[in-house]
Amino acid sequence: MPLLKIVPIEIRRRITKQNPRRKKGQKLDAMQEIKKLISEDPEIAKTNEMSRFPNFGFEYRGGITELYNSIIRSRNKKPKIMSIGPGLGLDLAELNIDLNSVGIESSIDVLSLQKLVNINILKLLNGKDYSQNVALEEIFSNPGKYKSVIRELLGKYDFLIAALSAGIYTNYSTHNCFFMFLMLAPQGEAYIDVNHFDEDKFRQMVKNHNKRYGTDLNFKIENVTKTIERIKITRIS
């Protein structure tokens, strides 16, 4: 697939525009770095050919741009980010390089049904792959088996994105939104594409959780877009 097709138009525009905060001579062109990585790593090219998921995902860019804008707005210089179902993770690598280039030391962890993120891409993300080769709902419904993973994930992230992933390809959309909410740090924001999201059920889950664990979790839900059902959940407390 031609590289230009896999780079989001909004990010391409942003990268090619002169960035006033970039130091002169600094090599910070995310596209160039990723292009180099792909050409040097035949495995990435092969996975890209073989997997339909990332191709599908690459066509869909709104979520990443939204995330970029929210991170910039937050003024958080070291945001911890989680991507649930990142596909190959190329767009996230691009996002991370781009954030780094404006002085933001972001790290992006990933968790996916299939372990698709290549080790070299993971290095660009500066994060960890928590994928267990099972669905998100499977991990959180087996707290005994996945205790150490769950413990690391809870309350950790300033930002979470689940673009066309665990909020959609599941019979447990609302449950998965709740699990993703539990991964947020206070004031953390999750951008999740959903279907069959039931806000009342979600509210009840948070209530039950607070009662059972003596916590005081609270949230705000917004509809981000109407074209695809994407919600934003903010952890208020």
Interface residue with ligand SAM, options 16, 49, 56, 222 (CB under 6 A): 56
Q: Of 9, 167, 191, which Cα lies nearest the Cα of 17?
A: 9
For residues 58-77, which are near ligand SAM according to CB under 6 A?
Answer: 58, 60
**Count of residues touching ligand SAM (by CB under 6 A):** 23
Residue 146 binding ligand SAM, by CB under 6 A? no
Residue 124 binding ligand SAM, by CB under 6 A? no
Interface residue with ligand SAM, options 30, 31, 47, 54 (CB under 6 A): 54
Residue 136 binding ligand SAM, by CB under 6 A? yes
Whole-angstrom distance, CA of residue 38 vs CA of residue 41: 5
Q: Identity (one letter) of the amino acid at 18?
A: Q
Residue 169 binding ligand SAM, by CB under 6 A? yes
Please state at what angle helix 90-101 crosses helix 30-40, rounded to 10 degrees: 140
CB of 233 to ligand SAM, least distance (A): 17
Residue 96 binding ligand SAM, by CB under 6 A? no
Torsion region of 214: left, alpha or beta (phi above 0 gives left; psi -120 to 50 gives alpha): left
Contact 111, 136 (CB under 8 A): yes
Angle at 120 between CA 145 and CA 149, to 5 degrees: 15
Torsion region of 187: left, alpha or beta (phi above 0 gives left; psi -120 to 50 gives alpha): left
CB of 58 to ligand SAM, least distance (A): 6
Residue with Cβ nearer ligand SAM (19 or 65): 65
> What letter does residue 2 receive in the DSSP assignment?
-
Whole-angstrom distance, CA of residue 215 vs CA of residue 181: 14
Q: What is the largest CA-CA distance in the chain?
A: 56
Q: Which listed range, 26-34, 151-159, 163-171, 183-191, lies at the site for ligand SAM (CB under 6 A)?
A: 163-171
Residue 181 binding ligand SAM, by CB under 6 A? no
Residue with Cβ nearer ligand SAM (19 or 198): 198
Interface residue with ligand SAM, options 47, 96, 101, 112 (CB under 6 A): 112
Nearest residue to ligand SAM, by Cβ distance, number only: 57
Residue with Cβ nearer ligand SAM (116 or 153): 116
Contact 234, 217 (CB under 8 A): no
Q: Of 227, 206, 224, 223, which Cα lies nearest the Cα of 215?
A: 206
Q: Which listed range, 52-60, 74-82, 97-105, 195-203, lies at the site for ligand SAM (CB under 6 A)?
A: 52-60
Contact 151, 115 (CB under 8 A): no
Residues that bind ligand SAM (CB under 6 A): 53-54, 56-58, 60, 84-87, 112-114, 116, 135-137, 163-166, 169-170
